[in-house]
Amino acid sequence: MGPRYVRLLEEIDRRGSIREACAHIGLSYRTCLNRIRQMERVLRHPVIHTTRGGAAGGGSELTDEARDLIRLYRAWRTELERSSDRLFRRLRRHG
């Protein structure tokens, strides 16, 4: 799970559409679907609920697991940056 995958999930959440999220990010629809499938294989559960078009229009929304994953990833990145900054300052003082 990296920043590109998180960004895809966040864009799908914002836009309510896989196709619109892909267009905004600049990726093909096929690439986005492959990334979604890859995440679901690794996580062993769905990350997106989709409804087909029709009169209501259809759309996509993140599963609770996907939302939890984004929160976990963001918290991890924040902690990683803090730890890295502390280490860099320490090495700089003693280097």
Q: Give per-residue pLDDT as tens, 56-87.
A: 678 999 999 999 999 999 999 999 999 998 99
Bridge partners (DSSP) listed for residue 49: 61
Q: Count of alpha carbons within 13 Å of 23, Cβ hemisphere only?
A: 7
Dump pLDDT digits (tens) for 7-35.
999 999 999 999 999 999 999 999 999 99
| Domain residue spans of the chain | 3-94
Q: Can you point out the beta strands (E) in 20-75?
A: 48-51, 59-62
Domain 3-94 belongs in CATH node 1.10.10.10? yes
